[in-house]
Chains A and B, each alone.
Chain A
């Protein structure tokens, strides 16, 4: 799912990290169960999520511009 969001949006990038090979990183983010997802070091959750919920977490971490789109 993370990769799909990265493919869709140039503002999203996705790292898949094998936790046992990078124990220092896993420890830094308190990875005790997988999959654990961390977005911008500010938003995190554990376990698979449906697309809408996952996108919601991304929006929470990165913020969403409100208001009408700029005129063409």
Chain B
């Protein structure tokens, strides 16, 4: 089943064409993958998420999807710092530490698109004052943004 209708797909395809600079890889983690399905809502949510990401990746040759199993590939999960699923690490020219936890549906689909484009560009248009402060941070900053799809 397609999540995007033809009009939306065309819109996303065009934005990707115009705005993507570097390739972006979506490193997706489900509780499991392949033929072994875990029962329950979590597995279903993860599968829907994988389908959405797959559809997004199909809209540009610059967007790639790697689907992982948290159970079968714990070392990959550790490499991307993923501890819960469904999780998507959005990787551009380098790993900027941007992760999306949950299903990117509703408003959050738009958020995912923006993040993919931002990561692809890699050089955010921030104010000089912001860049200066960010360049002088004493410790690491872990930002968690809680959102809902509606």
Contacts and interface: CB of A to CB of B under 8 A. Distances in A.
Interface in A1-53: 2-22, 25-26, 29, 31, 34-41, 51-52
Contacts of B129: 52, 55
Interface in B90-138: 90, 92, 96-104, 108, 111, 114-115, 118-119, 122-124, 126-127, 129-131, 133-138
A22 B118 contact: no
Contacts of A16: 98-101, 108, 111, 115, 145, 147
Interface residues of A, number: 45
Interface of A: 2-22, 25-26, 29, 31, 34-41, 51-52, 55-56, 58-59, 61-66
Interface of B: 45, 81, 84, 86, 90, 92, 96-104, 108, 111, 114-115, 118-119, 122-124, 126-127, 129-131, 133-149
5 contacts: A13-B97, A15-B100, A34-B147, A52-B129, A55-B126
